[in-house]
Structure 1
């Protein structure tokens, strides 16, 4: 498989919006997604610069646009972050995300001028939210836990932050400049507006931004039950489950029913028998995705690692040197797996009810890396043992994780060496 063509020209994605509208959550999701796809991406959060240089205990009056001293201090932090951003892109970065309110035309013009002077195009991403329930949830669950209000009485913090929002709202000028490149996200993906969007990366972000939501729901990742090939230490293939694998399938069904209760669970498998058989005690209505098929070991399918080491030492050594990028002869690399999983990520992002993914070690490593924001090259070393359920619950800024080991035990450990 050949990686998708990509425009490697540096670009700036500049956030726009009032506080508590999800800008930082969106910025982090974009950074996680692009980094996972292999684009060198860095987030520059102006709020972090302010806290680092000016301290965290700034009352709402500091953010009043009529406060000349505060306004100049905030501008200084914004420009310091922008200078660092430009320096990073100039030294080889590809995507820089400028996470700030950028709430006036004057500020956005300044960002454009500074970036374009160095040849870096800017695409603004504005988050608009008119749903008071979403704003209230965002304020209480994220903003009041920020370092700005550490040790502050929650009700006092709530009053102060609402006053801060009101200061920004008085001066706020929504995006509308027809000559600018921008994406507007309204009410967390209910509507997305594009203006002058060109190029590979901005266009690739649109499906992700359209399918975002804040509905909490668990995502369960698990490998299929132990297969006959696992027992023999063979790579790949399309073998049936072993007796222990069958037992795990029953245990998994009971576990998911207990965790999900009456909620509907979307069950996703690969097209290979061992994942479909693992899903069978739970449902006949699973969705089989070819994108979830295990990494293609090419000419090494059906071999053990020891056989590869003895019969194909050049393959064994080359893969050991760079397991993430090495492509099996006539097969795939981890990098290839990530590219074919990209459309599935968009489907995963749009789900609002629980999802159970029954997959394979290499594929689940790639999905896990995306969900918990681990560097893509770390995929080959991420632990995804057999007969274990990984429960991930996405939140605004991270992913909560729990692991459950379900019987039966696997002879000789978890047989993780039986495939990549």
Structure 2
């Protein structure tokens, strides 16, 4: 993929306002959609420079040594980001820091625009004490700065660190900057000078994003008749063991999820609806949650596909994420159709999704930050609830099982793709023109970087004025 578009999302806000959580979520979202994205945390560069565990006094604006070292860390992070754009031909970078003064933002704006990078400032403002407290606990629990520190000592130190920023903090009022302000985790949004399609897509994701940690639960449908027969696709009924899983699922949910006010989402296919039938919660069916469409191979076993469509069988092993069945879908197609589901999940809590192996793999990869190459090989077993708990630094996973046996539908990635093996052996791969799916261009993003415009229309572009070089004042942790 070749593009001149380069965007830097510059985080702004006091500590414990969810900036790192937002930065990581935006990075995962864009990467999931095939847009080359990287996050650059000034805190990580500061820890490389002076080590972790610096006391709150290190972040005092009157601490000249600490201020100098934080400036060095910010400069190192910025230089690494600029180098990444040139070396990796990246599209979006995220500069994760407090960037809490106008002077700092002016310096960043000048450096970025001088390098033909569009800055998009993202400010997280939070004035709700419960939310701030939850964010503080998340930092104290997961940040490397407080690893192995007494919780009470960590809490006092972090409170002092935040106070060191409050006096000099300046909210964004620069009218010539592109920015979005997120106030109190979605209670208000302020958007200014968003310039193009990709920036608007980032903003659209942000206004759907809740910054507090949450849990999400996934389960495949119970074992189906097609699972037993090793057939793919279709709209099969549950097997006897699948019906037993559906019967025991309410108890499994009660034991491990508790009395939360759950909502259950299913696909429109019989096997998920039957699996959810006994759950005493509101239910919603999503067409977007249906299994990957296998086109002309629907209802066939893998052995039948290998016999009838050997080229397709071999090519799918070659690139399982990008291979599209003729008349059907690829995993990358499923990612795109699941984007509205992800948007809904970001807004809600207490959702149990009962769906299919491919669709759950795609959503699981989003939350667990799994690459496209590895996504089709994520292990999503039958008769298991998968719990994911998101936070700023990671996504924690738990699995809950019942004692109901099921077939193992997992197919590992071949060590040598079949098509390569056959070529090495000098054998031709027999082509059947009746199937012949395609492998999509992996270098192209799943989400287009710009809308498709009529041939006689050209997009208008607003220019950002360059500011004079300014040294950074107060940088982030």
Q: TM-score range with shorter-chain normalisation?
A: over 0.9
- The residue number in structure 2 matching 1:51 is 47
Per mean C-alpha deviation after superposition, the further-off stretch among 165-174 and 332-341 is 165-174
What corresponds to 2:67 in structure 1? 71
**CA 1:194/1:247 → structure 2, altered by over 3 Å: closer, same or farther?**
same
CA distance in structure 2 between the partners assigned to 1:209 and 1:224 by the alignment:
31
User: Could you say which residue in structure 1 is the equivalent of 2:161?
Assistant: 164
Q: Is the 8 A contact 1:223 1:387 kept in 2?
A: yes
SS at the partner of 1:393? strand
Please say if 1:37 is aligned against 2:33: yes
Q: CA deviation at 1:191?
A: 1.1
Does structure 1 conserve the Cα–Cα contact (< 8 Å) formed by 2:268 and 2:287?
Answer: yes
> Aligned partners of 2:205, 2:2: CA distance in 1, in Å?
17
> How far apart, CA to CA, are the structure 1 residues paired with 2:74 and 2:283?
49
Give 1:368 deviation, angstroms: 0.7
Partner of 2:78: 82
Q: Is the 8 A contact 2:41 2:96 kept in 1?
A: yes
Report if aligned partners of 2:7, 2:91 keep a CA contact under 8 Å in 1.
Answer: yes
Match of 1:414 among 408, 418, 421: 408
1:289 partnered with 2:286: yes
Matches within 5 A, 1:140-151: 140-143=137-140, 145-151=142-148
**C-alpha distance after superposition, 1:19-66 (max 9, x if no partner):** 111111110111111111111111100011011111224232322222
Q: Tell me the residue number matched to 1:325.
A: 322
**Alignment TM-score, normalising by the size of structure 2:** 0.82
SS at match of 2:122: strand
Q: What corresponds to 2:472 in structure 1?
A: none
Q: Does 1:189 align with 2:186?
A: yes
**Residue 381 of structure 2 is aligned with which of 381, 385, 391?**
385
Q: CA, structure 1 residues 199+385, in 2 after alignment: closer, same or farther (shift >3 Å)?
A: same
CA RMSD of aligned residues (A): 2.0
Q: Any runs of at least 4 consecutive aligned residues in structure 1 with deviations exceeding 6 A, and if so which?
A: 5-8
| Residue number among 215, 220, 243 corresponding to 1:218 in the alignment | 215
- 334, 337, 348: which one aligns with 2:334: 337
Per-residue deviation at 1:403?
A: 1.2
Could you tell me which residue of structure 1 aligns to residue 20 of structure 2? Answer: 24
How far did 1:284 drift?
7.8
Q: Distance in 2 between matches of 1:395 and 1:46?
A: 19
Match of 2:265, SS state, is: strand
Taking the aligned partners of 1:401 and 1:150, their CA distance within structure 2 comes to 21
Counterpart Cα distance in 2 of 1:17 and 1:254: 44
Q: Which residue number corresponds to residue 173 of structure 1? A: 170
Deviation at 1:251, TM superposition (A): 1.3
Structure 1 unaligned residues grouped into runs of 5+:
none
Classify the secondary structure of the residue corresponding to 1:220: strand
Larger mean CA deviation between 375-384 and 176-185 belongs to 375-384
Q: Aligned residue for 1:275?
A: 272
Matched position secondary structure for 1:374: coil
Query: Using the alignment, how far apart are the partners of 2:359 and 2:17 within structure 1?
Result: 33
**For the Cα contact (< 8 Å) 1:64–1:167, is it kept in 2?**
yes
- Deviation of the 1:228 alpha carbon: 1.4
Superposition TM-score, scaled by structure 1 size? 0.93
Residue aligning to 1:238: 235
2-structure distance, mates of 1:263, 1:90: 48
Distance 2:153 2:280 in 1: 50
Q: Any idea what SS the aligned residue of 1:13 has? A: strand
The alpha-carbon deviation at position 7 of structure 1 amounts to 7.5
Cα deviation, residue 214, structure 1: 5.0
CA contact (8 A) 1:386 1:416 kept: no
Counterpart CA distance in 1 for 2:255 and 2:151 is: 35
Give the secondary-structure state (helix, strand or coil) at the position aligned to 1:377: coil
**Structure 1 residue 136, shift from structure 2 partner:** 2.2
Residue in structure 2 matched with residue 314 of structure 1 by the alignment: 311
Equivalent residue for 1:255?
A: 252
- The separation in 2 between residues aligned to 1:405 and 1:140, in whole angstroms, is 30
